[in-house]
Amino acid sequence: MNSILMQPWHRAVIKVGSGLIAPGGERISTKFILPIASFITECRNQGKEIVLVSSGAVAAGLSTQPQMQKRTHRSIPEKQALAAIGQSLLMANWNRFFDFPCSQILLTYDDIHDRRRFVNAKNTIQKLIDLGTLPIVNENDTVAVEELKVGDNDNLAAYVAMLAEADILIICTDIDGLFDSDPKRNKNAKLIPVVEKIDNTIYSLAEGSKNPIATGGMKTKIEAAHKAVVRGIDTIILNSTKREVFDHLLDGKLIGTIFKKNSNPMTAKKHWMLHALTTTGKIVIDLGAAKAVQYKGASLLSSGVLACEGDFKKGEPVEVYVKEGKTLNVIAKGVTQYNSNDLKKILGKKSSEISSILGYTNTKEVIHRDELVLVTDI
């Protein structure tokens, strides 16, 4: 299999899934972990910085509970209990491979989606790197309820790559990369070594995971790559069951698939707004306002607002839709300067009229340009 010449990098986030850590699904194995650990050590010896995102806590916990191993369905409390049991075992397993300290970070959905906690996590990761540790990140499955979970460690790894300001995201899996069809079903499937742009065609190649322990599949890996590349982070998928892929990677060559970073990466704040911020409502604007926002870099004014939906407060994120005929199309996300009740009172009104209508004026903009990100930016 041909290799691809890689661009030099200094800081990487490496994601290792449950299928590599616990190949049988019932206990942790060193079978595929040892080459990854050796790669991490050699990278650090070369002066590179590594952050590890590791799955496997539930599988590690499962190894201590043989009565649960034969069951394919487990309740959320059972999974949380297994994660609580297994997290220390997972950390101990990684620790034994290294002669430098490891540090543990457990993140939740709120740590990603709350701006203050996001920045705090970012500062913590940087300090742990400065102290010479290997930060090992996992989702805090012991406390996160289903609707408040990141959900899979591929997307978590993309968020961590943002937090760490990494140069590259390395997703370790058990297949050679992205193929034009399922290589497990089609022996003539061809590897796609380079993806210049992630679009619907690329997403159509993905299928969900068939592994009962794993929470992702190729789809979540493409989602993770999509998040990373728009922030200017190259993303690679490689087969970590083959030791030689790491030897090549140390030589600056990739056997696998690389998703190329965008040449004009999005700013950190706008990337966070687009990919991590959960909206609380929607604002519908007219075509003229949409064109001003999309093509002239304008802020959104009340005169261009047709309607709003949802119950949102000042300072909360909303989606912005344009009405074209009978169709509504989302064009942006932003932080509103007016709550939903007040916004309904100033729909279509000039900025100069806001004070007389509401009795106050926060700003003349409903959403300031600096607090707005276009969906088309991705």
pLDDT band at 114 (very low <50, low <70, confident <90, very high): confident
Return the DSSP state at 191: B
Residue 104 pairs with which residues in a beta bridge?
Answer: 136
State yes or no: pLDDT of 26 exceeds 90. Answer: no
Distance, in Å, from the CA atom of 326 to the CA atom of 305, rounded to the nearest integer, reads: 16
Model confidence, pTM? 0.80
Residue carrying structure tokens 């806001």 = 354
Show the tokens assigned to 170: 């390395």
Distance, in Å, from the CA atom of 22 to the CA atom of 91, rounded to the nearest integer, reads: 14
More confident residue, 102 or 25: 102
Reported as a single tens digit per residue, the pLDDT across 282-305 is 999 999 999 999 999 999 999 999
State yes or no: pLDDT of 214 exceeds 60. Answer: no
| E strand map for 90-232 | 102-107, 134-139, 168-173, 194-195
Residue among 54, 257, 50 nearest 166 (CA) = 50
Residue 313 and residue 343 in contact, taking contact as beta carbons nearer than 8 Å: no
Mean local confidence (pLDDT), 352-376: 90
Residue among 300, 295, 296, 299 nearest 285 (CA) = 300
Reported as a single tens digit per residue, the pLDDT across 160-193 is 999 999 999 999 998 899 998 888 788 888 999 9
Rg (CA), the chain: 23
Structural domains in the chain? 4-266 (3.40.1160.10), 279-377 (2.30.130.10)
pLDDT of residue 310: 93
Mean local confidence (pLDDT), 229-243: 94
| E strand map for the chain | 4-5, 11-16, 49-54, 102-107, 134-139, 168-173, 194-195, 234-239, 253-254, 256-259, 282-285, 300-301, 305-309, 317-324, 327-335, 365-367, 372-374
* Least confident interval from 55-59, 136-140, 251-255: 55-59
State yes or no: pLDDT of 30 exceeds 50. Answer: yes
Residue 166 and residue 14 in contact, taking contact as beta carbons nearer than 8 Å: no
Sign of the CA dihedral running 277, 281, 285, 289: negative
| E strand map for 124-245 | 134-139, 168-173, 194-195, 234-239
Angle at 311 between CA 310 and CA 313, to 5 degrees: 125
For residue 115, with 0-12 CB atoms within 10 Å meaning exposed, 13-18 middle and 19 or more buried, which class applies?
A: middle
